[in-house]
Chains A and B, each alone.
Chain A
Amino acid sequence: MTENQMTAWKAFRGGLWDEIPVLRLMLGLCPTMAVTTSVKGGLTMGLSVVFVLICSNVVVSMMRNLLKPHLRIMMFTLTIAAFVTIADMYLKAFQPVMSEKLGAYIPLIIVNCIIICRSEACAAKNGIWVSAVDGLAMGLGFTIVLCFLASIREILSTGCITFSETAVWTVLNPVDKGGWFTPWAAMAMPVGAFITLGLTLGAVNQLTKKKA
Chain B
Amino acid sequence: MSNSIKLFFRESWLLMVSAVFFGALLAVANAAWAPKIAQNEINKFSNLAKALLPEAMKFEPLQNKDKIIIDLGDGKTAGADVRKGLDAAGNCIGWAFLAEGSGFADKIKLVVTADAGFTKLNGFGVQQCSETPGFGDKITIKNGFYQAQYKQAPAGKFTLTKIGDSKKIDSEIVAITGATVTSQAVVNIMNTYVVQIKQQLQQKKLIGQ
Contacts and interface: CB of A to CB of B under 8 A. Distances in A.
B25 interface: yes
B89 interface: no
Contacts of B30: 89
B25 A86 contact: yes
Interface string A58-70: 0000010011100
A10 interface: no
Contacts of A63: 14, 18
B29 A86 contact: yes
B74 interface: no
Given A78-B19, A100-B130, 7 more contacts: A81-B22, A82-B22, A89-B30, A93-B36, A93-B37, A157-B133, A189-B132
B18 A103 contact: no
A13 B25 CA distance: 32
A90 B132 CA distance: 25
Contacts of B106: 103-104
Interface of B: 11-12, 14-15, 18-19, 22, 25-26, 29-30, 33-34, 36-37, 40, 44, 106, 128, 130, 132-135
Contacts of A75: 14-15, 18
Contacts of A103: 106, 130
Contact of A92 (B22, B26, B37): B37
B11 A68 contact: yes
Nearest to B129: A100
A63 B21 CA distance: 13
Contact of B26 (A82, A94, A157, A185): A82
A191 to B, nearest CB: 11
Interface in A80-121: 81-82, 85-86, 89-90, 92-94, 96, 100, 103-104
Contacts of B132: 189
A170 to B, nearest CB: 19
B162 to A, nearest CB: 19
Contacts of A71: 11-12, 14-15
A56 B172 CA distance: 53
A93 B18 contact: no
B25 to A, nearest CB: 6
B15 A90 contact: no
Given A37-B133, A89-B33, A90-B33, A82 B25 contact: yes
Contacts of A162: none
A40 to B, nearest CB: 13
Nearest to A100: B128
A53 interface: no
A14 B133 CA distance: 34
Contacts of A86: 25-26, 29
Interface in A161-208: 185, 188-189
Nearest to B35: A93
B37 A89 contact: yes
Contact of A188 (B29, B44, B133): B133
B14 A85 contact: no
Contact of B33 (A66, A82, A93, A157): A93
9 contacts: A37-B133, A63-B18, A71-B12, A82-B22, A85-B29, A93-B36, A100-B128, A185-B134, A188-B133
The 5 closest A-B CB pairs, nearest first, are: A82-B22, A93-B33, A93-B36, A188-B133, A185-B134
B197 to A, nearest CB: 25
A89 to B, nearest CB: 5
